[in-house]
Amino acid sequence: MAAEAWRARFRERVVEAAGRWERVRESLATELAHVTSPMLAGDEEAAAAARTRIQLAMGQLEDASRDLASAMSLMKAADLLALHGDSVNPSTLLGGISHLGVQYLAERIAVTKLREAWEDAREAYTNVEWCRSHLDAILLMLDHLHLPSLDGLIEEERAAADGFLQAAIGRGLSTPGRTYPAPTDSVETSYA
């Protein structure tokens, strides 16, 4: 019975992390439109339009950061559950995922994929945060419309933000299930 309890908790963590991963994937794809097109600050009206687009993007990127952090925590929790779950003494860790019994092959495979997905999520999180910092720099510049060559400076920051957003999307977020284990209805079957 204890084996089934940890497996159920393991699966719950995987399913919840997958949901957050998917939400991030969808939200970052929609944010591309706000970040890819040029942002000009030639006059107050153009600056206000750029500011509105950036604020919309910043809100979505903040949510994406939060979901990525939650997904990483859930992935790590599932990993630890697997390492504790099949241990003779649940308060001690197994020596490694390879020590999980053969009856837990699906969980072994899932943990391997979770670790890959965790690395992708960590990289995506870092890229999202860099994107946010470049957009924040644009917001600061938009408060100083008198600066010389402002449009060029804003374009440099926008291009950098776009590059980091593209990198975040490229870290496994563009293809659902690329490295993320997709749990099935039965714990007895494969997570892959």
Q: Is residue 22 one of the residues assigned to a domain?
A: yes
188 pLDDT exceeds 50?
no
User: Using CA atoms, how far apart are residues 45 and 188, in angstroms rounded to an integer?
Assistant: 60
Q: Is the pLDDT of residue 100 over 70?
A: no
DSSP state of 103: G
Does residue 182 sit within a domain? Answer: no
Question: What per-residue string of b and e applies to 26-51 under the rule 16 or more CB within 10 Å gives b?
Answer: ebbeebeebbeeebebeeeeebeebb
Residue 115 lies in a domain: yes
What are the tens digits of pLDDT across the range 50-71? 899 999 999 999 999 999 999 9
Q: Is residue 186 part of a domain?
A: no
Looking at per-residue pLDDT, the higher value among 35 and 129 belongs to 129
| Residue 178 domain-assigned (yes or no) | no
**Confidence grade of residue 166 (pLDDT, cut at 50, 70, 90):** very high
What would the two tokens of residue 70 be? 């939650």
User: Which residue has better confidence, 92 or 141?
Assistant: 141
Range of the domain at 165: 2-170
Task: Answer yes or no: is 191 within a domain.
Answer: no
User: How many distinct structural domains can be found in the chain?
Assistant: 1
